[in-house]
Structure 1
Amino acid sequence: MRTDNLARPASAEVPLDLRSWLGHLAERGQLAVAREGVSLTDELAAVSKSLERERAVLFPRPDGHDIPVVANLFAARSWVSDSIGVSEDQLLQQFQTAALNPLPIREVVSGPVQDVVHNEVDLLKQLPIPKHNEHDSGPYITAGLLIARNPRTGIQNVSIHRCQISGSNRIGVLLLPRHTLSYFRMAEENGIALEIAIVIGVHPALILASQAIAALDEDEMGIAGALLGCSVDVVKCKTNAVRVPAHAEIVIEGRILPAVREPEGPFGEFPQYYGPRANREVIQVDAVTHRARPIFHTIVGGGYEHLILGAVPREATLLQHLRRSFPNVLDVRLTRGGTCRYHLAIKIEKVEDGEPKNIIMSAFGAHYDIKQVVVVDRDVNINDPDEIEWAVATRFQADRDLLIVSGAQGSKLDPSAHKGISAKMGLDATIPVDAPEPEFKRIHVKGEEFVDLATALQKDPNAAFARLVAQAR
């Protein structure tokens, strides 16, 4: 599947880990290195945010800490496809294939992630954990894969949750109604803690896989293996039965405590608002393990990396879901303006009038976060928000093409929803099947796609303009 160093199997000299990806970025001039001593409070996030669409950033000795921090692993959608060795137009198909053909994890006896073990834990002294947005309640772990085991079956789930540092060995965690919460409720019903691990610093494929919309008891680490082309090597935690990637940078081992809730938040979230303070579940940390010289990965809350990491796996799953019933669905995109969660554009090869509304309803059922869907024809570029708006402006009429659903489940992080209850809106911005061709024929300048500006334009426009002025006198 791959031809560069990132393609080597886990047994090769260069493992598929965070360091291999950073090396890949550095070779291409896509990795910036900040000055030493940048503050972990606000300043690190500010520098990261300023470069979020351009380069990854490595911060040596932040606040004098020995462990460096890295941010902005994805500054463009093309970086996501590059991280798994495919072109951008193959990205969603590759993710779909991996989700359908997972490679089971491979347990090994030892790994570099356990080179150093801290049984006495003081999180803020041992790890460089930043504070990101202005009104965040404090330092947060934002790029940690939270791995939990089903207390009945032992099958693992991988996801990302915001993790507030609440004490030297205590973490407040927001558990939304997903698989980790299901596992925790199973444990809490029996009066026991849920064993977990928070894994920080992994190859991007593992982060992407963690965001897949998979069924309960489908281990996302298997999807990661399929994306990489080799099973992910894992080791058993030192203090519990959770298996973690052997080549990760850092692992925090702990338990989500039953019948315990403590204040967590506010925290800057993907909708570009602060998630409120409330009593949340609590993790008791039992140990920290890491490489001899680890790297700490952070994601700025609500930043571009936060959005794109959630968008791509969701798009792949949504596309697969829609094509089961509608094979004429060509592509989907969770738009940036819709926080890469709430607004979905769907491109179709239209067959029947009325079909776009069926597609809209199927999309609403595919994931509760989605609150607006726009269906467009194949000639519309769904990567361009101007094109989508143009399709709505010229192919949509509200009295016949609008679909509204009220009182549906939505995102609890959407501040316009009421306790997660949301309205849904669908817009059919497609051309009627029986419309005469001239009525909706797009204008086109003949030859525009073949213009070579390097030969069409003069190299020194100032000199050319000066000559024209001189000739006109």
Structure 2
Amino acid sequence: MTTSAPALSTDLRRWLAHLSDTGRLAVIREGVKLEHQLAAIAKRLDGRQAVYFPRPGGHDMPVVSGFMSRRGWIAEAMGVTESQLLQRFRQAAENPLPWREVPTGEALCQQVVQKGVDPREVLPIPTHSEHDNGPYITAGLVIARNPKTGAQNVSINRIQVHSKERMAILMLPRHLWAFYKEAEARQQPLDVAVVIGVDPLTLLASQAIAPLDCDELEIAGALHGAPLRVVKCLTNDVRVPADAEVVIEGRILPGVKELEGPFGEFPKYYSAREHREVIQVDAITHRRDPVFHTIVPAEMEHLLLGSIPREATLLAHLQRSFPNVLDVHLSVGGVGRYHLFVKIRKTHEGQPKNVICAAFGAHYDIKQVVVVDDDVEVHDPLQVEWAVATRFQADRDLVVIAGAQGSVLDPSTTVGQEFGENSAPPSHVQGISAKMGLDATKPVVYHEHVFTKVRVPGEDTEDLDALIDTSARVNFETGKVQR
């Protein structure tokens, strides 16, 4: 089953025009500096307006940022309400739609072809945070093919552009890493494409938590309601969105590492400078008059693009075992990755602890789970905190699991570990984390009204617009109302 998305959200430029027409796109004066200033402006407007930068750093190619920085905007792009957002994404993830390949001559992303050029000169790549080690591509969809099966994977990885035709990439232990290790075992490079500037739904689909060999471009097609147009790269066999703005074609070299970092990551801290794998750039193709997209790290566009697909996957995972799980939310305070709130219709004592354990097994990034009742809105952190304050007791409702795998980007996981001066921990011990679960649900059976939530009859139904007399003024000396 597919549902067509609004046409304006299946094309980046039409989406930007829609945001502009509705007062949600700020156009900045020409010539903003690529080092820090561009990111500073985008951060100031984060969640309020997307930002369009003409001629940044003297480049002809403009930069855009923040066009997916509110949950409501993402729902709007999908053509649903916020309450339907996870269900719509889940539907697409479970019913991927195979893409449609088009010939080179029909691909907008290959209108201009450049080889032997320095990406730093051709592309307006910003330097974002204070201690970042140079310019970074932060919104590039990295697409690679499984050396065994040919199936593709799509992810967003940070990429440091540090020399001509060489870029260092951070790969976490997920599908791209598995593809690379398979290619490396064969003593072969891994062909990749870095795609910059795609429509909102393709961008969102790239972050799906999908099985190995499930091509996220097919999830994008399902979100679009029609097969995604793709084209084969000019220097390798990777298929990329044909209507993308920019494509960098290259190879991740086997056995080659170069220094990368530090870089300000989504937990709002810097990750260390370490030796990382390297992309050798073979070609850069782009549309005529392309638009370059950058994501300001750790801000709302970054956090939401990661959290919403994860929420959809987590909800589906939990509901397979617990049909009474109603909703989930990865909180912004938990950087959209680490803190999960789960709403259930509780039927048995002890059930929330089972839900907690299942949630930890669903994704290793999750560090804290709070389970609440169906009278608590999980998207409102004030209500979740109220549930913890009034329904949780640490001696009976706390679950702690020590020594589990967590996020390698969580700086607290390496505290107290000594690996020698200026040495990073080896990869097999990075991200070791304690997990904490809180059962913040009320008892299934309780005495009288001890756990009945206080409400006033009519608080949700009284028509305030009809009742408030906007023309009335009170004389506070006499207490009389005057009009």
TM bucket (normalised to shorter chain) is: over 0.9
1: distance between equivalents of 2:359 and 2:446? 26
- Indicate the larger mover: 136-145 or 204-213: 204-213
Q: Identify if the C-alpha distance between structure 1 residues 312 and 124 changes in structure 2 by more than 3 Å, giving closer, same or farther.
A: same
Q: Identify if the C-alpha distance between structure 1 residues 383 and 3 changes in structure 2 by more than 3 Å, giving closer, same or farther.
A: closer
- Contact (CA 8 Å) 1:121, 1:286: kept in 2 or not? no
Of residues 349, 352, 377, the one that matches 2:348 is: 352
1: distance between equivalents of 2:6 and 2:353? 44
- Following TM superposition, by how much is the alpha carbon of 1:62 offset from its aligned partner in structure 2, in angstroms? 0.6
Q: Aligned pair 1:280/2:276, yes or no?
A: yes
Of residues 173, 178, 183, the one that matches 1:177 is: 173
Query: Residues 352-394 of structure 1: CA distance to partner in whole angstroms, max 9, x if unpaired?
Result: 0001000000000000000100000000011111100100010
1: distance between equivalents of 2:469 and 2:64? 43
- Indicate the larger mover: 122-131 or 451-460: 451-460
5 Å-filtered alignment, 1:23-422, equals 23-110=17-104, 111-418=107-414, 419-422=430-433
Query: Residues 238-269 of structure 1: CA distance to partner in whole angstroms, max 9, x if unpaired?
Result: 11111100000000000000110110011111
Q: Aligned pair 1:468/2:476, yes or no?
A: yes
Q: Identify if the C-alpha distance between structure 1 residues 51 and 453 changes in structure 2 by more than 3 Å, giving closer, same or farther.
A: farther
Query: Residues 56-113 of structure 1: CA distance to partner in whole angstroms, max 9, x if unpaired?
Result: 1111111121000000012310111111111111110111111110001111003010
1: distance between equivalents of 2:464 and 2:133? 51
2: distance between equivalents of 1:188 and 1:442? 59
3-state SS in 1 of match to 2:256: coil
3-state SS in 1 of match to 2:312: helix
2: distance between equivalents of 1:132 and 1:40? 8
Q: Identify if the C-alpha distance between structure 1 residues 414 and 156 changes in structure 2 by more than 3 Å, giving closer, same or farther.
A: same
Q: Aligned pair 1:5/2:7, yes or no?
A: yes
2: distance between equivalents of 1:43 and 1:17? 28
- Following TM superposition, by how much is the alpha carbon of 1:450 offset from its aligned partner in structure 2, in angstroms? 2.7
2: distance between equivalents of 1:437 and 1:243? 63
1: distance between equivalents of 2:447 and 2:103? 68
1: distance between equivalents of 2:448 and 2:19? 47
- Contact (CA 8 Å) 1:119, 1:287: kept in 2 or not? yes
Q: Aligned pair 1:445/2:456, yes or no?
A: yes
Q: Aligned pair 1:21/2:29, yes or no?
A: no
2: distance between equivalents of 1:125 and 1:412? 32
Q: Identify if the C-alpha distance between structure 1 residues 28 and 239 changes in structure 2 by more than 3 Å, giving closer, same or farther.
A: same
- Following TM superposition, by how much is the alpha carbon of 1:3 offset from its aligned partner in structure 2, in angstroms? 7.7
Equivalent position of 1:12 in the other structure: none
- Indicate the larger mover: 204-213 or 446-455: 446-455
RMSD between superposed Cα atoms in Å: 1.5
- Following TM superposition, by how much is the alpha carbon of 1:4 offset from its aligned partner in structure 2, in angstroms? 4.7
3-state SS in 2 of match to 1:159: strand
Q: Identify if the C-alpha distance between structure 1 residues 458 and 409 changes in structure 2 by more than 3 Å, giving closer, same or farther.
A: same
**AA at the equivalent of 1:441:** T
Instruction: State the aligned residue count.
Output: 461
1: distance between equivalents of 2:446 and 2:283? 66
2: distance between equivalents of 1:456 and 1:148? 61
**AA at the equivalent of 2:476:** L
2: distance between equivalents of 1:24 and 1:151? 40
2: distance between equivalents of 1:339 and 1:199? 25
Question: Which consecutive unaligned segments of at least 5 residues does structure 2 have?
Answer: 415-429
3-state SS in 1 of match to 2:13: helix
2: distance between equivalents of 1:3 and 1:362? 32
**AA at the equivalent of 2:434:** A
- Following TM superposition, by how much is the alpha carbon of 1:350 offset from its aligned partner in structure 2, in angstroms? 0.4
Equivalent position of 1:13 in the other structure: none
**AA at the equivalent of 2:290:** P
- Following TM superposition, by how much is the alpha carbon of 1:318 offset from its aligned partner in structure 2, in angstroms? 0.3
2: distance between equivalents of 1:41 and 1:60? 15
- Following TM superposition, by how much is the alpha carbon of 1:437 offset from its aligned partner in structure 2, in angstroms? 4.4
Query: Residues 411-454 of structure 1: CA distance to partner in whole angstroms, max 9, x if unpaired?
Result: 00000113210000000000111213401011112222234444
2: distance between equivalents of 1:3 and 1:386? 33
Query: Residues 303-360 of structure 1: CA distance to partner in whole angstroms, max 9, x if unpaired?
Result: 1110000000000000000000000000000001100100000000001000100000
1: distance between equivalents of 2:477 and 2:299? 48
- Contact (CA 8 Å) 1:257, 1:284: kept in 2 or not? yes
Q: Aligned pair 1:428/2:435, yes or no?
A: no
Q: Identify if the C-alpha distance between structure 1 residues 459 and 301 changes in structure 2 by more than 3 Å, giving closer, same or farther.
A: same
- Indicate the larger mover: 433-442 or 284-293: 433-442
Structure 1 vs Structure 2: percent identity of aligned residues?
59
3-state SS in 1 of match to 2:205: helix
1: distance between equivalents of 2:260 and 2:119? 17
- Contact (CA 8 Å) 2:319, 2:325: kept in 1 or not? yes
**AA at the equivalent of 1:425:** M
**AA at the equivalent of 2:58:** G
